[in-house]
Amino acid sequence: MSLLQVRDAVAFPGGSNSSDTVIDNVHFNLTTLNFWNYTLYSNGTLSNGSWCLLTFPPYTPPLLLENGTFINATWCYSPVKGIQHRAAIAIGYAVVFGIALVLTLVSLNKHARLYLPAEKRFYPIGRRWQWYWAIWVCATALISLLTCIDVDRYFLPELPIILTSFFWYLMQIGAIAVVWEAVRHWGSWMERQFTDPDPFALRDGDRRSKVEFWLPLWFYLFLWLNFFMIVPRNWEPIQHQRYPQQVVDEAIPTATDARFKTAAFLLAVCWLTTVFSLRHSIEHYCPRNRGILNRISGFLRYTPARFMIILPLAAVVPVYQALVAWHFAWSPLNIDGLDAAIYPGAYTPALLIVLVQAYFGLLLPNEDKELLRQRRVRDQALDREMGIVHKPSWWRRINGEHIAANESMSDRLARNVREVQGNRQATTRNPDGIDIASGPVEMTPVSPPPPASPRISRTEVERYSGKSDRGRTELAAGLMFPQAGERAAAQRHEEIGLDDAAPPPYQPEGDAGTRPAPNVERSATSNSTDRPPQQIRSMLDV
């Protein structure tokens, strides 16, 4: 039975007396019904303008009170009907959109991970927007499709048709945004590959960079204009499809007004902007072609296969939105709309866009990993040009250059010591006889150093502080006492002659004590105290 039922007023059937009426074998007080302005309609409803009740079985109310209240009554706007074709198809589409949502989340998890430090020029959020919009499309589509079930089941249309239409328009916005973000990010990815070998390959502030800065602002300006043309409006007339005349008077003029038609034009501008962005990226980041035919051929050759699929699908979105703005019979806003036109034109393009995006998202590698692979390829090419041959990966394992799973920190330090010395047998025992490998390095006992070879000792030895204190003393004494300074200098030269020669060359440990060292005592270098004091004759001597 069609939802657009004939709603003509009919007379109350007769009852036991003049103040009684019988509806489905239930007696009602006719005086009370007339007092509260209830009218019986041919579609089996009873309404007074404020309340609408079902009177056909099994929803006939069993009792009417004097105050006009029905007991156990069923509201006219209730899901009392079975699922029709529109609802059944909507359930199938909702299942596919749910699968697309799961695949989109997997792709987001794969491509959103960072394996390289984030760059200011290429923000990580840029590669994620296409997946965020795909999630938006799946979520709004699920709400729109699931509310289609109540569009069929409601006896008289009400809120479900508004929710279905509202979220369908939001899904259309998201579908165009998915394609835009995919194309825009592809251009950014091409730029990143172009500048990774040479960061200064492209100039800043040129026409290319200015176009890439203003183009997203231009796109989202028209996308949000489409949003403001559709969303902030009075949606109540859309649900007024309870009888044919009401559809003609209220629903059709609202669903085909100038705002819906303008919104379709704005969405077409967004699609054209996406195509221009693709052409701009191919022109600057792909090999150039001269001539009109060569440019067209190059544009088709360098366009990724993914865009060859989703761009035509995205073109269907504004075209169908414009079609339903002029032809109400094929519109999702029509509760009796043609299903063969609604689902292929309204939901299929957005569904295919999300599925194609998810498929290529699972197929293509993470961009950071791909960039690392390209860097390795470039490094290998440079090594081949320079004649550098790196050791294979198994070289470290067979030469002990790997860390065992159960190796402690002390074992690592001991292994590093052995590697520095270059001889494992020699580093097992150091020259002092301490077995390094027998215990942890941190706990190895420290033995006193071996006795040094005897040298000529001095009676007064002071630690060297970085400058010659004795030299400063002799200089001051020379200035104060010229004669004493000359004697001190002569004595110092004598002491220099008494010093040892250069130390002997290195000998093995066993021969360390065979060469006796002379034991010569030297006198102090200070001036003698048994001499008469120096007489200062004038201030010139000082």
pLDDT tens-digit readout, 297-350: 878 888 899 999 999 999 999 999 999 999 999 999 999 888 899 999 999 999
Please state at what angle helix 348-363 crosses helix 124-153, rounded to 10 degrees: 140
The answer to whether the beta carbons of residues 127 and 181 sit under 8 Å apart is no
- Closest CA relative to residue 261, chosen from 347, 338, 196, 322: 322
Q: What is the pLDDT of residue 459?
A: 44
Inform me whether the pLDDT recorded for 450 exceeds 70.
no
Half-sphere exposure of 384 (CA within 13 A, CB side): 6
For the segment 354-361, the average pLDDT, to the nearest whole number, is 95
Structure token pair of residue 229: 């043309």
Q: What is the pLDDT of residue 132?
A: 96
CA–CA separation, 182 and 188 (whole Å) = 10
Inform me whether the pLDDT recorded for 521 exceeds 50.
no
Range with top average pLDDT, 30-44, 330-344, 380-394:
330-344
For 47, the enclosing helix (H) or strand (E) is strand 45-47
The answer to whether the beta carbons of residues 33 and 21 sit under 8 Å apart is yes
Inform me whether the pLDDT recorded for 511 exceeds 50.
no
Q: What is the pLDDT of residue 468?
A: 56
Pairing state between β 70-71 and 26-29: unpaired
Higher pLDDT: 263 or 538? It is 263
The answer to whether the beta carbons of residues 129 and 112 sit under 8 Å apart is no
CA–CA separation, 479 and 481 (whole Å) = 6
Which tens digit of pLDDT belongs to each residue from 409-446?
Answer: 888 788 778 767 655 444 444 544 444 444 444 444 44
User: 3-class SS at 527?
Assistant: coil
Out of 71-80, 130-139, 396-405, pick the least confident: 396-405
Which tens digit of pLDDT belongs to each residue from 474-496?
Answer: 666 666 666 666 776 677 666 65
CA distances from 454 to 416, 503, 504 (A): 36, 11, 12
Higher pLDDT: 291 or 282? It is 282
User: Average pLDDT, whole number, for the chain?
Assistant: 80
- Closest CA relative to residue 239, chosen from 321, 148, 326, 333: 333
Exposed/middle/buried for residue 513 (C-beta within 10 Å: 0-12, 13-18, 19+): exposed
The answer to whether the beta carbons of residues 31 and 21 sit under 8 Å apart is no
Q: Is the dihedral of CA 365, 369, 373, 374 positive or negative?
A: positive
The predicted model scores a pTM of: 0.70
Which tens digit of pLDDT belongs to each residue from 209-238?
Answer: 899 899 999 999 999 999 999 999 999 999
Q: What is the pLDDT of residue 218?
A: 95
Which tens digit of pLDDT belongs to each residue from 135-165?
Answer: 999 999 999 999 999 998 988 888 999 999 9
Q: What is the pLDDT of residue 427?
A: 44
CA distances from 247 to 9, 16, 184, 326, 424 (A): 18, 39, 43, 15, 96
Domain residues of the chain, as ranges?
9-71, 85-365, 413-442
Q: What is the pLDDT of residue 532?
A: 60
Q: What is the pLDDT of residue 223?
A: 95
